[in-house]
Amino acid sequence: MTTGAVVLLSGGMDSAVTLALARERGRDCHALSVRYGQRHSSELDAAARLAHTLGPGRHRVLDLDLRAFGGSALTADIAVPEAPTGGIPVTYVPARNTIMLSLALGYAEVLGAREIWCGVNAVDYSGYPDCRPEFIAAFERTANLATRAGTEGAGFTIEAPLIAMGKARIVREGLRLGIDFSATVSCYQADPQGRACGRCDACRLRAQGFAEAGVADPTRYR
Amino acid sequence: MTTGAVVLLSGGMDSAVTLALARERGRDCHALSVRYGQRHSSELDAAARLAHTLGPGRHRVLDLDLRAFGGSALTADIAVPEAPTGGIPVTYVPARNTIMLSLALGYAEVLGAREIWCGVNAVDYSGYPDCRPEFIAAFERTANLATRAGTEGAGFTIEAPLIAMGKARIVREGLRLGIDFSATVSCYQADPQGRACGRCDACRLRAQGFAEAGVADPTRYR
């Protein structure tokens, strides 16, 4: 039997590579994106482009407007920093990955899928606490205590295949897997056409990854 | 300084008592409800009535339509059982408490609140896995690894004051705290006016609690 997997798909390069890895491993993939009021909503168009190859009914976009809480440069009227700031930056969205993984967990349980794949990365990253391996391990444990499937049957595993990869390696993995990186959007303040600012943390980490990998980055800048 | 708390308020009797306990303990309370596509949406009217005493701006209702996933008698076209079924019943909403607590966590972090109160109960309950003490403990640990506040400062605590109480004791606590139980809605298939069916699990547990406490239940039946 094919193992079912829910893949969290933001539309950035990391989740694109994660989805491709899950498919390479033969998983029966369902992509989940969340319209959470993010400033860079063009990433959702990117997610739709990336999920297209999964076929119809395999990509769900859930609405959850986290602007109701605010508190982040991605969801409130706070400027996105265009230089490193030290510490956890203001682009951190409180509890975002916990919320996303919880939603993926609910969806996976309904589908009968037993894996949740996500593109978190703890090497070339912005210092978000919910991208660390210890967070992923704790969430997996919680997920198995929380659910019918974790309690009565085979439990859930959270797969974070990029967690120990640097950005350059992620770029190389993506190229190996045939990903069209021009379809992805990383910039925190991408315009509606998905064109990047070139100055935010996400743009800098992405450009650095392509540069280190010695590959041209197809990002369109505005 | 007063301790801030986000209280998950469904509008049922357990969350009403939880909110009253948090207030009794002097917490600076913010109530959070989620419109998740529940069949018994009149519980949200009950939540608004209960939160009214907190004053303006102290009750937030977040929209998150879990009908997009389905898989539960509360969110899909599956009948609510009117007799005990054994095992985890079909009214179980996959990952609901993980999702709710994650949302409360995000809200608490934005507010600078360090406590999340919820009315889960593992005695007279429907057998949901996400109502057990081990789930709450695992979630608390995850929350502290997930967040800026848990990583850089004093962490979060999840308060579940009813977890070891039977329904009769919850009723007595509520009376002691002056709760108007007629303002609460427990029934899984309450009508738009909040009138109960008297037959579902939630109705049976509630009625049993009032009976054991020797108190008249002000529930309006349809």
| pLDDT of A83 | 86
Q: In what order do the strands lie in the sheet with A4-8?
A: A59-63, A28-35, A4-8, A115-117, A157-159
Query: pLDDT: is A114 or B150 the higher one?
Result: A114
| pLDDT of B24 | 97
| pLDDT of A133 | 95
Cα torsion A20, A58, A40, A131: sign: negative
Tell me if B203 is assigned to some domain: yes
- Give the domain CATH number at B170: 3.40.50.620
For residue B39, what is the DSSP state? S
Tokens of B34: 């989620």
Residue A109 — pLDDT band, cuts 50, 70, 90?
A: very high
> How many domains would you assign to chain A?
1
Q: How are beta strands A157-159 and B4-8 bridged, if at all?
A: unpaired
Cα dist from B139 to B80, B116, B178, whole Å: 28, 11, 31
Tell me if B90 is assigned to some domain: yes
| pLDDT of A74 | 87
Tell me if A219 is assigned to some domain: no
List Cβ neighbours of B214 (8 Å cut-off, separation of 6 or more).
none
List Cβ neighbours of A56 (8 Å cut-off, separation of 6 or more).
none
Residue A126 — pLDDT band, cuts 50, 70, 90?
A: confident
Tell me if B220 is assigned to some domain: no
Percentage, residues of chain B above pLDDT 90: 76
Tell me if B46 is assigned to some domain: yes
Q: Which of B120, B116, B122 has its CA nearest to residue B103?
A: B116
Measured CA to CA, the distance from residue B49 to residue B59 in angstroms comes to 10
Q: How are beta strands B157-159 and A4-8 bridged, if at all?
A: unpaired
Is pLDDT of A188 > 80?
yes
ipTM: 0.94
Q: Which of A22, A199, B169 has its CA nearest to residue A207?
A: A199
- Using left for φ > 0, alpha for ψ between -120 and 50, and beta otherwise, residue B87 falls in left
| pLDDT of A85 | 81
Q: At what angle do helices A96-111 and B96-111 cross, to 10 degrees?
A: 170
Tell me if B146 is assigned to some domain: yes
Tell me if B221 is assigned to some domain: no
Tokens of A20: 């491709």
Counted residue by residue, chain B has a size of 222
- Chain A residues with CB under 8 Å of B105 CB are 94-95, 98-99
Cα torsion A166, A170, A176, A180: sign: negative
Tell me if A220 is assigned to some domain: no
Q: Tell me the residue type at B205.
A: L
**Do residues A161 and A121 touch, judged by C-beta distance below 8 A?**
no
Query: pLDDT: is A179 or B93 the higher one?
Result: A179
**Do residues B129 and B88 touch, judged by C-beta distance below 8 A?**
yes
Residue A93 — pLDDT band, cuts 50, 70, 90?
A: confident
For residue B131, what is the DSSP state? G
For residues A160-164, give the mean pLDDT: 96
To test the contact with chain A by mutation, choose from B61, B88, B103 the residue with the greatest count of A C-beta atoms within 10 A, namely B103
Q: Which residue of A has its CA nearest to B110?
A: A71
Cα dist from B169 to B12, B201, B206, whole Å: 15, 18, 11
> Domain range spanning residue B173?
4-213
Q: Which residues of A touch B (CB under 8 A)?
A: 60, 62-66, 68-71, 87-88, 92-99, 101-103, 105-107, 109-110, 129-130, 132, 134-135, 138-139, 141-143, 145-148, 150-152
Percentage, residues of chain A above pLDDT 90: 75
Report the alpha-carbon angle B143-B163-A158, nearest 5: 35
| pLDDT of A160 | 97
| pLDDT of B165 | 95
Is pLDDT of A1 > 80?
no
Measured CA to CA, the distance from residue A85 to residue A64 in angstroms comes to 28
| pLDDT of A73 | 86
Is pLDDT of A11 > 80?
yes
| pLDDT of A154 | 81
Interval B31-52: pLDDT, tens: 999 999 888 889 999 999 999 9
Interval A62-85: pLDDT, tens: 999 888 888 888 888 889 999 888
Q: Which residue of A has its CA nearest to B94?
A: A106
Measured CA to CA, the distance from residue B117 to residue B133 in angstroms comes to 13
Candidates A106, A132, A141; nearest CB to B99: A106
Stretches in chain B below the pLDDT threshold 70:
1
Interval A38-47: pLDDT, tens: 888 899 999 9
Candidates B66, B97, B141; nearest CB to A146: B97
